[in-house]
Amino acid sequence: MKTILISGGKGNLATEILNVNKEHNIFAISKNKLNVYDINQLDKVVKKIKPDIFIHTAALTRPMIKHINSPDDSIKNNIIGTSNVVLTCIKYNIKLIYISTDYVYPCIEGNYSENSALFPVNEYAWSKLGGECAVKLYKNSLILRMALCQKPFPHPKALVDVKKSYLYMDKAANIILKLINEKEIINIGGETMSPFEFAKQDNPNIGKIYLSEVKDVKMGKDASMNIKKLKKILND
């Protein structure tokens, strides 16, 4: 059994990790008690809990336009905040698991492996890659590039002409807990398909939308990931 500290404790992924956990002692701390931009507060929480593992889920995500209109917030939360987490984990020799995104890939040709060239498709992804840079400098770390989706699918319409490797958060949470002893970088996702095909599996009445209609979010046509490494680790 490990003692695990999760930032962003009120978020969807942290909640799902708590829900599926049956083995570990997990502390999921919300932003008002664990603001990663405040390195002194971060230090106090870590000294109190003494975690073996820090799962860093806290991030500024949506609305995506915020990363364009308020880059300072994006930098503070996703780059400086993550750097603070890395520095704290180094100080106390804590294993760090960082939740990143499939959008760090160019999202043009798809089937991206962990060794594929990176070129983030939007400002949010640039901020997450900034966090990755800090994490990668710490050897006792694991970067998880993920294509996460809430369940049920949270929108009335889904994209038809885009490819993703979506995975519902409950399944992703299970996988994360199986990977706590891994290091380096691992893609986590599901079968490659359009968001429409993915959503339709649980909602046959889902509506259609096309990439040309999306104005507020920069997206590539193919963000699909190669998950052979993940399957090998899980013996799937």
Residue 185, phi-psi category: left (phi > 0), alpha (psi -120 to 50), beta (remainder) = beta
Q: φ and ψ at 40, to 5 degrees?
A: -70, -40
- Taking residues 168-188, what's their average pLDDT? 97
Looking at residue 124, its amino acid is Y
**C-alpha distance from residue 106 to each of 61, 101, 175 (Å):** 18, 12, 25
The whole model's pTM is what?
Answer: 0.96
- Looking at the chain, the whole-number percentage of residues with pLDDT higher than 70 is 100
Q: Where are the beta strands (DSSP E) in 122-211?
A: 141-146, 148-149, 157-159, 167-168, 184-188, 207-209
Is residue 141 over pLDDT 70?
Answer: yes
DSSP classification of residue 131: H
Give the number of other CB atoms < 10 A from CB of residue 206.
Answer: 20
Q: What residues pair up with 208 in beta bridges, in sequence order? A: 158
Calpha distance 172→222 (Å, rounded)? 20
pLDDT band at 236; cut points 50, 70, 90: low
**Taking Cα atoms as reference points, which of 8, 1, 223 lies closest to residue 99?**
8
User: Is the distance from CB of 112 to CB of 73 less than 8 angstroms?
Assistant: no
**Residue 190 confidence class, pLDDT cut points 50, 70, 90:** very high
49, 44, 34: which is closest to 2 by C-alpha?
Answer: 49
- Stretch 197-225: mean pLDDT: 93
Tokens of 221: 């046509």
HEC letters along 99-124: EEEHHHCCCCCCCECCCCCCCCCCHH
Mean pLDDT in residue range 144-154: 95
Q: Degrees (nearest 5) of the Cα angle 130, 85, 223?
A: 35
Whether the Cβ atoms of residue 181 and residue 234 lie closer than 8 Å to each other: no
Report the pLDDT value the prediction gives residue 186, as an integer from 0 to 100: 98
Looking at domain 3-234, its CATH class is: alpha beta
Say whether pLDDT at 66 is over 90. no
And the tokens for 129? 């890659």
Q: Residue 98: pLDDT above 80?
A: yes
